[in-house]
Structure 1
């Protein structure tokens, strides 16, 4: 079981507040240029089970409605080294709204990625994974959520 490590428990009522939460988090000390709310490509659902290995920058999500599984951002590149665990809220909830924040370099390439979850059981927010992107080009990662 992996729990959020943001250090704050904040009960929010709407998934859109993930945007403000991620912007306040400022992973790596950088301001976010873009936050994307995640929806299932297959069915449009927004409830996910999530597996995370923050040590290597691995996140995958599984749609609660249709079962579609998606390895997010550039996590497929580190899948061999990953040992993901199921994300879980401190309340025990394992169904989440998901948002991804992107900090950009001056040239528009991705510098840092942060993945935040909002527990659907109690509304608590947390950043479950964030990592630096140290290669270019990387702008395509914003479409791989």
Structure 2
């Protein structure tokens, strides 16, 4: 399915749809995401609850199968004083497939902005639910931790 707009929101069914919405959002934000990664738990599950604190630069995903919490990207470096809040879809569902994207400093692999896009497993809404400026030395290593 391609992205479809219903009212003010976008809907899709694949991780490609979610990535397309993330990329569009990042372009509008003037920090275009150029590298992407889908979240997957060690148990193999691809659905999560998401909490974030954009001011602190922290995101935590919790696996819906095994319950394992995972600090995303470099969130472990910023947990002190963070107050992550749970994300909820407009349909009130709290279970998502997650796609992360990063913008990098021109000519480098250094992360400059982090985006987390969600695909609601209940209603198929896709959107960027969290983003913030971020400094990490290597985009590949950063995205390996999402």
What interval of TM-score do these two structures reach, taking the shorter chain for normalisation?
0.7 to 0.9
Q: Counterpart in 1 of 2:117?
A: 116
Q: d(CA) in 2 for partners of 1:128 and 1:75? A: 16
Q: d(CA) in 1 for partners of 2:26 and 2:49? A: 24
Confirm or deny that 1:18 pairs with 2:49: no
Confirm or deny that 1:32 pairs with 2:33: yes
Q: Counterpart in 1 of 2:89?
A: 89
Deviates more, 1:91-100 or 1:55-64: 55-64
State the shift of 1:107 in Å.
1.6
3-state SS, counterpart of residue 109 of structure 2: coil
Count how many residue pairs are aligned between Structure 1 and Structure 2.
Answer: 136
Q: Superposition pairs for residues 1-145 of structure 1, below 5 Å?
A: 8-26=8-26, 28-40=29-41, 42-105=42-105, 106-134=107-135, 137-139=137-139, 140-145=141-146
Across the aligned residues of Structure 1 and Structure 2, the Cα RMSD in angstroms comes to: 1.5
State the shift of 1:138 in Å.
3.8
Structure 1: state its 5+ residue gaps.
Answer: 1-7
Given that 2:50 and 2:62 are in contact with CA atoms closer than 8 Å, whether structure 1 keeps it comes out as yes
State the shift of 1:137 in Å.
2.3
Q: TM-score, normalised by structure 2?
A: 0.85
